[in-house]
Amino acid sequence: MSHTPSEMMTIAAARLLSNDDVCFVGIGAPSAACNLARLTHAPKITLIYESGTLSTRPAVLPLSIGDGELCDTALTTVSVPEMFRYWLQGGRITIGFLGGAQIDRYANLNTTVVGPYDAPKVRLPGGGGAPEIASSCGEIFITMAMGTRAFVDRLPFVTSFGHGSGKGDREKLGLATRGPTRVITDLCVMEPDPETAELTVVSLHPGVTRAQVEAACGWPLRFAAAPADTPAPTAEELAILRDLHARTRKAHGVAA
């Protein structure tokens, strides 16, 4: 069965999650990946959305972070201040799953502005929960489609802190959490280098060449000595993901 790069990205991200994870879920690609994991190999995964829903099991993907579907299928729903204080700041989340408009080689993220802050060329939505998700969760997975406008040499604004300007910067700020450990894209999977914390391609998706990945990145990208081949999506993974998206489109009133 053939698949799209976006499906490969979601499936590669879903495979990294396990039954033991307590996952703080962002809207969009992270939400699709977390729910795909729950519907395939990780039925006991704990999904938490910042609107206050704990252990939620939505039948369709939410359009917004506080859709009724999330509350209806949750174990319980807490207030937003409680979510950020007791659950996130309290250190109870193992994995924070973020997307972003822009990322740099040390996995810092920008979702605030393109151009100067006071006179922006593009005003993006802002950080929302991300700055504290990035510092309080045990580790961070990032999922973003590649392109030179998204994977940039220098961020105009640091909305969420990854590895700063290299290895050791998190420790200098007093952060005890691991920060970004995986970046799952539509072309490859990257991990921070153990010595420098610079993002390094560790696996290429089926049919993707090294040149293709280099062309989609705004800095000279490093590759592991022998990048692995990401296993192609299985028929089961694709069928479950497509079914989830079809249910979601129908529920949101969008023509398939």
- List residues binding another protein (CB under 8 A): 27-28, 50-53, 62-68, 70-71, 76-81, 83-85, 88-89, 112, 117-118, 120-132, 135-136, 157-161, 164, 169-170, 173-175, 251-254
Give Cα separations from 93 to 58, 88, 147, 156 (angstroms): 19, 6, 30, 29
Give Cα separations from 31 to 142, 211, 216 (angstroms): 12, 30, 24
Give least dist CB 182 to another protein, A. 19
Closer CB to another protein, 41 or 247, in the complex: 247
Closer CB to another protein, 97 or 161, in the complex: 161
* 50 is a catalytic site residue: yes
From the candidates 50, 69, 198, 237, give the one annotated as an active-site residue: 50
Closest by Cα among 103, 98, 120 to 218: 103
Q: Tell me the C-alpha distance between 161 and 134, whole Å.
A: 6
Residue 94 CB neighbour total at 10 angstroms: 16
Q: Tell me the C-alpha distance between 237 and 252, whole Å.
A: 23
Closer CB to another protein, 69 or 188, in the complex: 69
Give least dist CB 251 to another protein, A. 8
Q: Tell me the C-alpha distance between 108 and 106, whole Å.
A: 6
Closer CB to another protein, 48 or 208, in the complex: 48
Any idea which residues carry the catalytic annotation? 50
